[in-house]
Amino acid sequence: MARFLVGTIPVIGHVNPALPIARTLVERGHDVWWYTGKAFQTKVEAIGAHFVPIKTGFDLTDPTSLLTELLAKQNSLTGLAQFKFGFKYLFGDSAVAQVKDYLEILKQFPADVMLADVCFLGAAWTHEQGGPAWATLGVTPLAITSNDTAPFGLAMPPATSVLGRLRNNCLNWLFQQILAKDLTVYLNTLRASLGLPPDSQFFFDSVVSPYLYLQTTVSGFEYPRRNLPPQLHFIGPVLTEPPTEFVPPRWWNDLKSSKPVVHVTQGTVATEASDLLIPTLQALAEEEVLVVATTGGQPIDAIALDSLPANVRLEPFIPHSCLLPHVDVMVTNGGYNGTHMALAFGVPMVAAGQTEEKPEVCARIAWSQVGIDLRTKTPTPTQIRTAVKQMLSEPHYRENAQGLQAEIARCNTVSLAIDLLEQLAMTKEPVIAQQPDLLFINSIGSGLAFK
């Protein structure tokens, strides 16, 4: 039996992917402690893990936390300023606090392995202070620096030609050494406060565990890179499990009609209905489709609609595992987990997202040709209507989505993650994957590298 200490920022999209992994570790007889926000205590304890609340670190779920003020400040910014503010004061400052919590936890629970989501920098810094080996759980698109890709955040497709790699090198240097140099300086100041030496790596590379990196996607949905770390494993997405009980809404039989079904969702984070949900309802109001819209948990009466079009069915939440088998097109703002749920059911997408990691997810939807990226947070009804019609009339989008569906179906995500974590706990050595050059060559052979 091994001891695993899980750490996640307290956000649904970061906690949920770790739940099946932690639960299976418990079922295999391992001792699991989980360090996250208080709002997730019930979920953590329900799987048999020991819950440890964030004390010194910033708890996103605590309305009295300093984080509330910081989030308001971040939301008032845009572009690069918003990006740097978040990584300095939300991820950086919280990492210092996480280290303090981690060191106290480890006195009580001498873990063999720390499993931390990719935004939980405190685990890496705790390891440098003598803490145990750590593994990264990648719950966002892969952000590591590469000659084959532009800087993460620009949402540019990969370029693998000589000129393309030159472009990438120039952009990476400009971004890391000029535009975001102050971010590296700031993080090194924080490291110094912990007695750690400066780190020459950029933030996105410093969160890559040298022992094990579990990326929750398939290689067909990620840009090919020549320099993938050998300890990085594409384990497949951690899909939301079907509910044990589901009471369908009264209109559920409408899904059996001959009309195409279009589902629109904004996930659970960026839920301002005027961004995507309302424009989609307006766009498709006169079309021969059935629109199923979900509010991300918000009350229906909170959606500012004068009237609901006759072809719309609006609910606060419907489990994707129940709905997506009936869906022909999904309109999404590009949440990583929701996108993978659509791919798991072979559903093509119209994507429109510009916050958090969503531009990069939307860019991968377009690159893998499973949908259209509208490259805006607030598309017009005309843009949405045109894109949905294109999805319905051009079969290659669904065919490509079904190709990734097949790749996902071949994954045994949780079992593979557990095997790799157990190997790390036993050996304390890097857990090496397939040679990255071979993975890149295989992707070129399939044509993906040149999309």
Domain boundaries, the chain: 3-236+411-450, 252-407
pTM of the model: 0.91
Q: What is the pLDDT of residue 270?
A: 58
Distances (CA, A) of 242 to 45, 111, 278: 20, 32, 28
Domains 3-236+411-450 and 252-407 share a fold: yes
pLDDT of residue 98: 94
pLDDT for 442 beyond 90? no
Given a cut of 80, is residue 58 above it in pLDDT?
A: no
- Pick the range with the lowest mean pLDDT from 85-94, 134-143, 191-200: 85-94
Per-residue pLDDT band for 436 (boundaries 50, 70, 90) equals: very low
Label residue 61 by pLDDT band (50, 70, 90). low
Q: 367 pLDDT exceeds 70? A: yes
Can you read off the two tokens belonging to residue 352?
């429109």
Q: Which residues pair with 109 in a beta bridge?
A: none
Do the beta carbons of residue 20 and residue 140 sit within 8 Å?
no
Looking at residues 52-59, what average pLDDT do you find?
83
| Tokens standing for residue 271 | 């839920």
Q: By 3-state DSSP, what share of the chain in percent is helix, strand and coil, each rounded to 5?
A: 45, 15, 40
Query: What is the Cα–Cα distance from 228 to 148, expressed in whole angstroms?
Result: 10
Taking the C-alpha atoms of residue 407 and residue 403, their distance in angstroms, rounded to an integer, is: 6
| Residue 443: per-residue pLDDT | 46
163 or 90, which is more confident: 163
Grade residue 450 by pLDDT with cuts at 50, 70 and 90.
very low
Residue 448: the pLDDT is: 42
> Beta strand pairing status for 133-138 and 212-215?
parallel
**Is it true that domain 252-407 has CATH number 3.40.50.2000?**
yes
For 248, counting Cβ atoms within 10 Å of its Cβ (0-12 exposed, 13-18 middle, 19+ buried), the class is: exposed
Pick the more confident residue, 64 or 29.
Answer: 29
pLDDT (0 to 100) of residue 69:
72
Between 404 and 93, name the one with better pLDDT.
Answer: 404
Length of the chain: 451
Q: Which residue has the higher pLDDT, 62 or 296?
A: 296
Name, in order, each residue with C-beta under 8 angstroms of 218's C-beta and a sequence gap of 6 or more: 234, 236, 237, 404, 407, 408, 411
pLDDT tens digit sequence for 164-214: 999 999 999 999 999 999 999 999 999 999 999 999 899 899 999 999 999
Per-residue model confidence (pLDDT) at position 22: 98
Region of 346 (left: φ > 0; alpha: ψ -120 to 50; beta: rest) is: left
pLDDT of residue 298: 72
* Kind and range of the H or E run holding 336: helix 336-344
Residue whose pair of structure tokens reads 């933030």 in the numeric block: 203
Cα angle 236, 242, 246 (rounded to 5 degrees) comes to 160
Question: Residue 100: CB partners within 8 Å, gap ≥ 6?
Answer: 56, 57
pLDDT for position 271: 63
| For residue 441, pLDDT beyond 70 | no
Whether pLDDT at 135 is above 80 = yes
Average pLDDT over residues 309-319: 93
DSSP of 388-434, one letter per residue? HHHHHH-THHHHHHHHHHHHHHT--HHHHHHHHHHHHHHH-S----S
| CATH superfamily label, 3-236+411-450 | Glycogen Phosphorylase B; (3.40.50.2000)
pLDDT of residue 268: 63
pLDDT tens-digit map of 237-290: 999 888 888 999 999 999 998 999 999 998 666 567 778 999 999 999 999 999
Looking at residue 301, its pLDDT comes to 74
Categorize the per-residue pLDDT at 66 as very low, low, confident or very high, splitting at 50, 70 and 90.
low
Is residue 257 within 8 Å of 276, Cβ to Cβ? no
Which letter, b or e, does each residue of 227-246 get, where b requires 16 or more Cβ atoms within 10 Å of its Cβ? ebbebbbbbbbbbbeeeeee
Specify the pLDDT at position 252.
96
Please state whether beta strands 232-234 and 3-7 pair in parallel, antiparallel, or not at all (unpaired): unpaired
CA dihedral angle for residue 120, residue 121, residue 125, residue 128, rounded to 10 degrees: 90
Average pLDDT over the chain reads 90
What pLDDT shows up at residue 407? 98
Q: Report in angstroms the alpha-carbon separations of 129 from 3, 194, 411, 430.
A: 19, 9, 35, 19
Question: At residue 29, what are phi and psi to the nearest 5 degrees?
Answer: 95, 5
- Summarize the confidence of residues 394-398 as an average pLDDT: 98
Average pLDDT over every residue of 303-322: 88
Helix axes 18-27, 413-427, angle to 10 degrees: 60
| Ranges 81-90, 263-272, 306-315, 415-424, most confident | 415-424
* H/E element, 106: helix 93-108
Tell me phi and psi for residue 167, to 5 degrees. Answer: -55, -45
Q: Phi and psi (nearest 5°) for 73?
A: -65, -45
Mean pLDDT value across residues 133-162: 94
Q: Which of 105, 116, 94 is nearest to 7 (CA)?
A: 116
